[in-house]
Amino acid sequence: MFAATLGGGVFAAEAQRLPAPKSGIAYAGADIRAMQADDFANPGMLWVARGEKLWNTAAGRSNKSCAACHRDAASSMKGIAAGYPRIDVASGKLVNIEGRINRCRERNQSADPLQYESEELLALTAYVAHQSRGMPLAVTADAANRPHLERGREIYYRRQGQMNLACVNCHEQNAGRKLLAETISEGHGNAYPAYRLEWQATGSLHRRLRACYYGVRAVMPAYGSDELLDLELYLARRAAGLTVETPGVRR
Amino acid sequence: MLARIEVPRQARRGEIILLRIAIQHPMETGYRPDNFGRRIAKNVINNLVCRYNGVEVFRAEMGSGMSANPLLQFHALAEASGEFVFEWVDDSGERGSERAAITVSA
């Protein structure tokens, strides 16, 4: 066991991929599963519907909509979210779907970036990610994103906060067990942006991650910060094989 | 106000059909304080009406006990081709509506 951990150091970011990851929906009750499975009852679809409208609405000084370049999202965005976060070639920075949308707004639409966690950005992100629903997460590891993957892994295993807990303590070592009334899931991000009943709204993966930071009484990183992006990348790699569920429904 | 409705496009005369509507709305209860301790004003969809060819077939009067983004469903008897019109209003006076046509065959 110890030797395996040491040996894993060579390909540190690769070592801890779960043999058979289980989506958070597998840990949810029958009512939540039914709500997610029914595209009309799933409240997250309201955000997807709003995102579709925004997709076709002109924005910025260019007066171009997303659809003006990308056309029908059902084909142009199919599978895209499954490969994110990824390195933005122009800037060399790691971006998730939210970041990709904002960069596209600035470069191609001459529009102001949308505020993280705003209704508009959530709706567009949900709409884009929804086009990949059912497709397996397929984030590749390469020389460019390896430093981010390493940092994400380091954060995942780092004990922090007044509770002195790392992600792995709950979401791997105690997955499937109870934390008060909740069943602890494996902590995969494949359903985000997701509708959480606790929020009574759709929220981003970063909002969910911040909630965990809050739970262990650690300092919450800012929305869209490098720390959360690196963690998001590691989580996507760790969840390889799971399919995109956006918009998921969670407690 | 963004909403989605589900009305069958076609039905046979005398068939019982399911109608569904989901509305994006915070359904603010009026009991929550904001970050500065000030009470957030109550704002819920207090009235929703569905009319079938002008005849009211469903009405809901809602209060602060409803969840955000409410989903309502009910049944109606398909009698004639025409239109279902949903109309609703919240405490702030904002109105919303959606409509869908149905073809009823003998």
User: What is the band of A10 on the pLDDT scale with cuts at 50, 70, 90?
Assistant: very low
pLDDT per residue as tens digits for the range A35-76:
999 999 999 999 999 999 999 999 999 999 999 999 999 999
User: Which of A40, A200, A201 is nearest residue B22 as measured by Cβ atoms?
Assistant: A40
Separation of alpha carbons A56 and A67, rounded Å:
5
In a domain, B92, yes or no: yes
> Are both A3-38+138-250 and A45-130 of the same fold?
yes
Cα–Cα distance, A176 to A184 (Å, whole number) = 5
Helices (H) and strands (E) in chain A, counts: 12, 7
CATH topology of domain A45-130: Cytochrome Bc1 Complex; Chain D, domain 2 (1.10.760)
Closest CA to B60 of B69, B68, B70: B70
Instruction: Please state, in angstroms and as integers, the Cα–Cα distance from residue A141 to each residue in A92, A104, A109, following that order.
Output: 15, 24, 30
| Distance in Å from the first CA to the final CA of chain B | 36
Task: Name B18's bridge partners.
Answer: B75
A196 in contact with B, Cβ within 8 Å: no
| A41 at B interface, C-beta within 8 A | yes
pLDDT by residue (tens digit) across A200-240? 999 999 999 999 999 999 999 999 999 999 999 999 999 99
Fold of the A3-38+138-250 domain = Cytochrome Bc1 Complex; Chain D, domain 2 (1.10.760)
Domain range list for chain A? 3-38+138-250, 45-130
Q: Distance from CA of residue A230 to its chain's centroid? A: 11
**Pairing state of beta strands A248-250 and A194-196?**
parallel
What integer pLDDT is reported at residue A3 of this predicted model? 42
Chain B environment of A49 (Cβ under 8 Å): 2, 4
pLDDT interval class at A5 (50, 70, 90): very low
Residues of A labelled catalytic: 212
What ipTM was reported for this prediction? 0.93
Per the domain annotation, does B35 fall within a domain? no
CB atoms A40 and B26 under 8 Å = no
- Identify residue B101 by its one-letter amino acid code: A
- Residue range(s) defining the domain that contains residue B82: 3-29+42-105
The bridge status of strand B45-52 relative to strand B82-90 is: antiparallel
Q: Which of residues 4-63 of B touch A (CB under 8 A)?
A: 4, 6, 20, 22-24, 26-27
Mean pLDDT computed over every residue of chain A: 93
pTM to 2 decimal places: 0.92
**Token digits for B7?**
């009305």
